[in-house]
């Protein structure tokens, strides 16, 4: 990797009243040696260090989602979240134009009205402003985005002193993009991981968080974890030494706890011992209840699952999820509520450990059946592309033409997420039959109308628990 790359941005006065300067021309990024020195001079821990401390202390680190277009408002948002809720890690969620490398569109939106952007356009604002955000708070920052090709964004993040970067060549392509070939996204993310390996050689460890959440709609645990294992092996091969594997809360406590507990077991099985691996839980990303009390029940429930499952980190939600992008107050309240999971008074929490152990055994078996044929191939990247082409790897409800989307998940009567149809996944007869037995009455349905109604009910799982009617205000 070259020690320098391009783009960062000087600026001029912005639209009246925004408090922002508007980027003008590209500026060369600083050498990597300068960026590494800047991180050391910041006087704050890296994300990898925060995660290690949390794991050693046996507590769940907390992180909100947040991102706005305006630089001034982004800085204010980060300061407010830190002042009132003290999260362990703070987020820069990136806008859609930047995710798709439409940097001219991002700049035009900043000139017109930063509020038109659904996140912070870091590449357009530039690495100097990224450093300003870093210096505005004491918590380290992570970039969350959704880009199939994040190379320039990653370089700008490194120059900004940001020490955690989410995504991967599968998980940030197939759930979001229709026509980006896997060969392109895997190659782009290979470059990101190789630069992380270069930085390890310079004594700077970047946490690489893998987006096992995928489409966030009825994701069977073994699909989530299988994709993350493949991305983790690819990252480790390029020299990445800190990997966070994120799992989306499904809603069945023993299954979710087992999935989180599976992460260190999978790391021990498939990754080098020198790679630090952290389980991360995304609080429920499906349809949220509208009543504040119900939403807060679900937030606390997710936090307790994170604690019981041994998650190192929790990505929090708010009581405004059903209504759109949450405001600062809701984000603060969500963090404070989730922080109750770390109370010493909750050390007595318990679940059905026999059931969780059974779920863990099933998950580990299914993941092995999915990933091991791919990992045995001499070229991992070619094997991933080939497996998706013939359906041996797949993602439910994918937006991409490069995924078959033949896997059909359903909820079992107890709320666990199972496979109704495994498509071309190479699961054993034992695994398929176990899923069918668990589904029980769902397994016999063949009518398309019944299938759609059943899937809709499964997606609205928590609305049904809280007796809310979809689309009707509470």
Active site residues: 99, 166
SS (H, E, C) the chain: CCCCCECCCCEEECCCCCCCEEECCCCECCCHHHHHHHHHHHCCCCHHHHHHHHHHHCCCEEECCCCCCCHHHHHHHHHHHHHHHCCCCEEEECCHHHHCCCHHHHHHHHHHCHHHCCCCCHHHHCHHHHHHHHHHCCCCEEEECCCCCCHHHHHHHHHCCCCEEECCCCCCCCCCCCCCCHHHHHHHHHHHHHHHHHHHHCCCCCEEEECCCCCCCCCCHHHHHHHHHHHHHHHHHCCCCEEEEEEECCCCHHHHHHHHHHHHHHHHHHCCCCCEEEEEEECCCCCCCCCHHHHHHHHHHHHHHHHHHCCCEEECCCCCHHHCCCCHHHHHHHHHHHHHHHCHHHCCCCCCHHHHHHHHHHHHHHHHHHHHHHHCCCCHHHHHHHHHHCCCCCCCCCCCCCCCCCCEEEECCCCCEEEEECCCCCCCHHHHHHHHHHHHHHHHCCCHHHHHHHHHHHHCHHHHHCCCCCCCCC
Burial code (b: 16+ CB inside 10 Å, e: under 16) for 109-126 equals bbeeebeebbbbbbbbbb
Residue 338 to residue 60: CA distance in whole angstroms? 9
- Name the residue with tokens 């092996």: 233
Which residues make beta-bridge pairs with 244? 209, 278
Termini Cα distance of the chain? 54
Whole-number Å distance between alpha carbons of 224 and 222: 5
């Amino acid at each position: 990797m070259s020690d320098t790359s391009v783009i960062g941005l000087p600026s001029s006065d912005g639209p009246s009243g925004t408090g922002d300067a508007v980027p003008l021309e590209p500026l060369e990024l600083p050498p990597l040696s300068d960026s590494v020195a800047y991180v050391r001079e910041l006087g704050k821990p890296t994300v990898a260090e925060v995660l290690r401390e949390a794991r050693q202390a046996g507590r769940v680190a907390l992180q909100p989602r947040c991102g706005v277009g305006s630089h001034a408002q982004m800085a204010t948002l980060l300061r407010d979240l830190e002042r009132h809720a003290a999260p362990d890690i703070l987020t820069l969620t990136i806008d859609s134009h930047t995710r798709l490398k439409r940097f001219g569109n991002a700049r035009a939106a900043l000139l017109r009205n930063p509020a038109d952007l659904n996140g912070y356009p870091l590449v357009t604002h530039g690495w100097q402003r990224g450093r300003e955000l870093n210096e505005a708070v004491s918590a380290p920052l992570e970039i969350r985005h959704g880009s199939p090709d994040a190379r320039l964004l990653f370089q700008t993040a490194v120059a900004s002193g940001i020490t955690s970067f989410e995504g991967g060549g599968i998980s940030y392509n197939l759930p979001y993009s229709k026509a980006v070939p896997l060969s392109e996204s895997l190659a782009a993310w290979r470059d990101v991981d190789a630069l992380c390996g270069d930085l390890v050689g310079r004594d700077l460890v970047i946490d690489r968080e893998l987006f096992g959440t995928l489409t966030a709609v009825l994701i069977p645990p073994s699909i989530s974890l299988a994709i993350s294992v493949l991305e983790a092996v690819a990252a480790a091969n390029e020299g990445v030494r800190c990997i966070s594997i994120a799992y989306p809360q499904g809603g069945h406590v023993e299954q979710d706890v087992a999935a989180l507990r599976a992460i260190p077991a999978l790391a021990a099985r498939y990754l080098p011992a020198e790679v630090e691996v952290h389980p991360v839980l995304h609080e429920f990303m499906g349809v949220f209840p509208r009543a504040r009390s119900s939403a807060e029940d679900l937030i606390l429930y997710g936090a307790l699952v994170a604690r019981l499952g041994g998650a190192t980190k929790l990505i929090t939600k708010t009581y405004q999820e059903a209504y759109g992008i949450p405001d600062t107050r809701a984000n603060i309240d969500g963090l404070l509520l989730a922080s109750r999971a770390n109370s010493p008074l909750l050390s007595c929490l318990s679940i059905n450990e026999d059931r969780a152990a059974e779920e863990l055994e099933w998950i580990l078996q299914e993941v092995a059946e999915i990933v091991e044929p791919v990992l045995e191939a001499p070229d991992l990247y070619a094997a991933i592309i080939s497996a998706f082409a013939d359906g041996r790897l797949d993602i439910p409800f994918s937006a991409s033409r490069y995924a078959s989307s033949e896997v059909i998940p359903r909820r079992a009567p107890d709320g666990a997420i199972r496979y109704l149809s495994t498509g071309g996944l190479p699961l054993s007869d034992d695994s398929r039959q176990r899923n069918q037995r668990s589904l029980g009455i769902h397994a016999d349905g063949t009518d398309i109308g019944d299938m759609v109604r059943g899937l809709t009910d499964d997606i609205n799982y928590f609305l049904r628990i809280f007796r809310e009617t979809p689309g009707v205000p509470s």
